[in-house]
Chains A and B, each alone.
Chain A
């Protein structure tokens, strides 16, 4: 299995593309440092006992007053910026991945339904997709988040804010999945294997899920990668605007918003380092997605 993978065209095109290899390495490093942050991070930013206000606003190590034990400096409460970034990336990625998973499930489900059923169902669903795609995703996520904030009791809302964001960003992104899956499903529906399955009386739901679905997943993978960057950015933007994750669960966006207050007093590192991490992460995911799109497109080979 593994040998087959290393021998494939896919892996060959990966090895021939330095940009893809570098971005894959960066994404891999960021994921590892995010997932294992409790073990890898030099400090625990959530352990209040270990915080010391005397350590606050230490500059990064390359400046005169910097210390190597706080390589990227500390914030107003003496939290290590590097550790906060590692924990923050973990939260950002969690929201991004879950949001994409949510958008994928909804988008694939409705896309299969629209493509397979056709007729009025198809027309209605695609009309909704058209309308939603003409509005920017961030605006939709913002409004869904706002409605949830108004509809749920405050305390309950604060507790499930992460899930609210997942749903808000997911709702903003499902149409792309639906449109793509619908297109490929319409092609597959006319194929002989589907007709054969129909003739022997397999129920429609099963034909959609176990026969058509595996054949339409290729393009979905590309969209998922490209949209992961967008989802992470959406979460960061919402958190930056102050309607995302609260300071008790700081994602990269929350860190940037908190650090923004100290920009004018000269403590630039509190906001710039989380910002750069976000930018590098999104750039690498996007480059990887671009490469994946080209590698999986047989016309470009």
Chain B
């Protein structure tokens, strides 16, 4: 077990270093910060002094290490667009994105798993067929279009829910939450559905396929022969065994949720990290982009590590195979 974790960590470190190098190359060589900082009139001496102060006359490798060291301490430079430290900017936006993604993930699991079980057990009922058609539409509609359609119906035509922003938030130390106010919760509904719908259909289809597979197996036939109730078979025996791949997919898809929150946040003007990134790309704000790249890489490597470990913990075959 320990060796497994260690080997995974050794694989993760180079990835982070390479992503760090890409982020640093962007940071250092795209655009010329010295010219931006000096303005119009300057002498060569002033320029050289600034170059020296910023450490830009040092070798590439030294600069790279300095950059990584600063990044490890949460110092990602200053945004060109907003003239504020990038670390603070991202930290400010982080709660909005995390609350949105977690709500969407919760929604996807809470609705997707029961629907998957239902369509897996009652395969040919009218309800199942309708749900399957609905899920096909959910898979092929692009995220932003789902958002636009939801806004059209629930905000413009019916006027039930707000169409943009986070509503009122309550600040607690470094965290701002929209969970505790009515307008915050109302604002969360449409974005969370938009973001969660694709994952929900994915989870539903996966649970359905796994249920159908498991229900065919011998031990289920045996359980039926023993005269167990349908309820005990479906939930006690079948569902439990379908959950292994489902956990993996959910884990891996948290990354997808964060990537697509960029789109959802733009549609609903949700003040999270994704909206910050899109606005920064529009005006080529490199420090924000490179910081975002590194944070996302860290997050993804972390998620993959956790999923690997979870797999290892859940599937006994993997443990036996290693010995």
Contact = CB atoms under 8 A, between A and B. Distances in A.
Contacts of A243: 278, 281-282
B284 interface: yes
Nearest to B284: A150
A278 B252 CA distance: 27
B204 interface: no
A237 B143 contact: yes
Given A237-B263, A264-B156, A266-B156, A139 B281 contact: no
Given A139-B262, A147-B30, A151-B30, A268 B144 contact: no
A150 B286 contact: yes
Contacts of A256: 144-145, 148
B281 A263 contact: no
A146 B263 contact: no
B172 to A, nearest CB: 30
Interface in A81-96: none
A143 B148 contact: no
B152 interface: yes
Interface in A134-157: 134-136, 138-139, 142-143, 145-147, 149-151
A170 interface: no
A241 B142 contact: no
A147 B57 CA distance: 24
A272 interface: yes
B282 A242 contact: yes
Interface in B131-152: 136-137, 139-145, 148-149, 151-152
A72 interface: no
A53 B264 CA distance: 33
A266 B159 CA distance: 13
Determine the interface band of chain A, counting residues with CB < 8 A from chain B.
35 or more
Nearest to B25: A147
Interface stretch (B38-46, B175-183, B205-213, B253-261): B253-261
Interface in A230-284: 233, 236-237, 240-243, 256, 260, 263-264, 266, 268, 271-272, 275, 278-279, 282-283
B304 A134 contact: yes
A56 interface: no
A44 interface: no
Contact of A271 (B142, B148, B255, B277): B148
Contact of A236 (B15, B31, B142, B277): B142
A243 B266 CA distance: 12
B291 interface: no
A68 interface: no
A286 interface: yes
B140 A263 contact: no
A131 interface: yes
B263 A260 contact: no
Nearest to A131: B15
Given A136-B260, A241-B263, A142 B281 contact: yes
Nearest to B288: A146
Contact of B281 (A135, A146, A266, A279): A146
Contacts of A271: 148
B76 to A, nearest CB: 15
B284 A136 contact: no
Most central of B142, B260, B266 by chain A CB within 10 Å: B142
A256 B141 CA distance: 13
B98 interface: no
A272 B143 CA distance: 14
A150 B142 contact: no
Interface in B101-145: 136-137, 139-145
B71 interface: no
Contact of B152 (A143, A272, A279, A286): A272
Interface string B263-282: 10011000000000110111
Contacts of A275: 145, 148-149
7 contacts: A147-B289, A237-B143, A240-B266, A256-B145, A264-B156, A272-B148, A278-B145
